[in-house]
Structure 1
Amino acid sequence: MAHDVKSHSAPAPEVTAPGGNLDREIAGLDALELGGGTSRRVLQRVWSATWPMVSAILIAIAAWQIVVWSGWKEPWVLPGPADTLPVFKDQITSSRFWDAVALTMQRALVGFALAVAIGVLIGALVSQFRVLRRAFGSLITGLQTMPSIAWFPLAILLFQLSESAILFVVVLGAAPSIANGLIAGVDYTPPILLRAGKVMGLRGLNLYRHLIMPASLPSFVAGLKQGWAFAWRSLMAGELLVIIGDTTSLGVLLSQARELNNTADMISYMIVILIIGILIDQLFGFVDRSIRTRWGVDQD
């Protein structure tokens, strides 16, 4: 009797399908393989994006060293990488250098933000009204092709040696490219999309916001990228020409190195300006790739 109670109270053994453990193991191996494949693809993408840039840097340094070895200029006029790179390292570890970078980037971001606001407003108006297109279309292109250095005499007369003079030229250098990028994007919006939007009830601002702007985004991003290039060049020219009080920027450091005939320092600052430009270009490239991926036209 006790034996019967004990046998009835004992828990029933868990029944496992014959292939249950094997299925779980296979599923785990598949997940591990997929995870490893994803990591491998990420590493391959990072490597494919990195090695051309690293190769270009090494080729540039080698060409620079070959020019120095050729004896074309005296070493104090054109120092080699071995003399310049230690100076570059010392520069990027000083607080004065980073204060200069912070001021330059602040000017660049403020000027570019103003240029984007003005460029988008002008581009939206010109792209929607034919009268404005006929009146100002060629003028915008003309402003885009005008060298930024030509604006500084007028900027200094209008604003003296001030931040406003620099921002004035930065905005004039960048806004036309941004406006033209938006205009081109609107012009190449497929008519069938416009008809479909109107059939769905999109009119006026809603049509522009929900259909035209997304459709023109690739051209608009290209205009932003070009606008940044013009803004950055205009800013560097401005900081070389418009020195405000005791402020220190990358342009001021570059100008001081030139006045002191300190070529190693001057090249170091030029390298920093180049690196900042490359990093911003990579940021725009990331945005462009994201847009192409979303649109399904990325071939990677």
Structure 2
Amino acid sequence: MAGTETGPRSVSGSPHDLAGLEAGLDALDAVRVERTPFAKVLLHKVLPPVTAVVLVLVVWKVLVVAEVTDAYKLPDPSAVWHSLKELWLRGTLLDIVWTSVSRGLLGFAAALALGTPLGLLVARVKVVRAALGPLLSGLQSLPSVAWVPAAVIWLGITDGAMYAVILLGAVPSIANGLVSGIDQVPPLYLRAGRTMGATGLSGARHVLLPAALPGYIAGLKQGWAFSWRSLMAAELIASSPDLGLGLGQYLENARTDSDMPGVLLGIILILFVGIAIDLAVFSPLERRVLRTRGLAAAAR
């Protein structure tokens, strides 16, 4: 009688089995990026913030009706709407917003041009990192408004002072974001790049920067936030007719005139611009980077 086979089965299989196994692994690695239905986008992306805004307005209106404080301290939402409509009818609303937005974007572009090579240098050169790393961290924690008096003394109440404050606030954030992203790049990527001849500037362009993109983009988002905050601080303190009327100066003028609806309108416009730039520029860029790395669920 033939004995039964009790030993382990062979792990080798037919070519058909191996092909099926490879196909299964490929299917696990593949990420399906499907277009999100409009109804789902409306439900999960649009409805929550709209609901939050409506709730804020309702609470605001209830506080006004309940007269929790004097009317000149907390005006009715309709008074703020009237101030907005008045600016629009006078044709000055877009000019005020664009004066600040153009300064902020130009200053951020300059900070990007300076912060990126500085971050690469600090991340890859040990001596530079030891010398400048703590300084960049300290500058990042320093309130941007602290630079306004010095910038005004150095450059006067000019656009140059505005841009200097933006650079001093944004460059450390961009550089530190890139350093953090590069620190998280697996060493295997760098060795593979060197093996293929990607060294020096070529390695930075084709290996380091692409691999460090998530941290770099986080630094860019924070850099824009610092740029916008720095600019508003500079416009509030160093206001002058020669600079044109921006959002910060509009807010300061409303405070001087004890125009509380104008003050609240200025705050709302500043907040709106910051959110709009993030939603229009940085959020889509962040989602695209996550999707290219197979993190489609996190990018939704």
TM-score after normalising by structure 1: 0.83
Distance 1:277 1:258 in 2: 21
Distance 1:153 1:125 in 2: 30
Which residue identity is paired with 2:48?
P
Which residue does 1:294 correspond to in 2?
292
Which residue identity is paired with 1:298?
A
Which residue identity is paired with 1:163?
D
Which residue does 2:140 correspond to in 1?
144
- How far 1:194 sits from its partner (Å)? 1.0
Deviations 1:140-187 (A, max 9, x none): 000000011111111111001111111111110111000000000111
Deviations 1:87-136 (A, max 9, x none): 22332343222212121111101111111111112101111100011111
Which residue does 1:198 correspond to in 2?
194
Deviations 1:215-259 (A, max 9, x none): 001110100000111110110111111123342111121111111
SS of the equivalent of 2:132 reads helix
Which residue identity is paired with 2:274?
G
Distance 1:251 1:93 in 2: 21
Given the alignment of the two structures, is residue 68 of structure 1 paired with residue 64 of structure 2, yes or no?
A: yes
SS of the equivalent of 2:231 reads helix
Which residue identity is paired with 2:293?
W
Aligned pair partner of 1:262 in 250, 254, 259: 259
Q: Which has the larger radius of gyration?
A: 1
Which residue does 1:234 correspond to in 2?
230
Which residue does 1:271 correspond to in 2?
268
Aligned pair partner of 1:153 in 149, 153, 162: 149
Distance 1:80 1:168 in 2: 38
How well do the aligned residues superpose, as a CA RMSD in angstroms? 1.6
SS of the equivalent of 2:288 reads helix
Which residue does 1:173 correspond to in 2?
169
Q: How many residues align?
A: 263
- How far 1:39 sits from its partner (Å)? 8.2
Which residue does 1:164 correspond to in 2?
160
Distance 1:112 1:92 in 2: 28
TM-score after normalising by structure 2: 0.83
Which residue does 2:24 correspond to in 1?
none
Distance 2:174 2:216 in 1: 7
Runs of at least 5 residues in structure 2 that lack an aligned partner in the other structure: 1-33
Contact 1:163–1:244 (8 Å) recurs in 2: no
Which residue does 1:225 correspond to in 2?
221
Distance 2:80 2:239 in 1: 26
Deviations 1:58-88 (A, max 9, x none): 1211222233234232112210213222322
- How far 1:47 sits from its partner (Å)? 3.5
Distance 1:219 1:92 in 2: 40
- How far 1:40 sits from its partner (Å)? 7.5
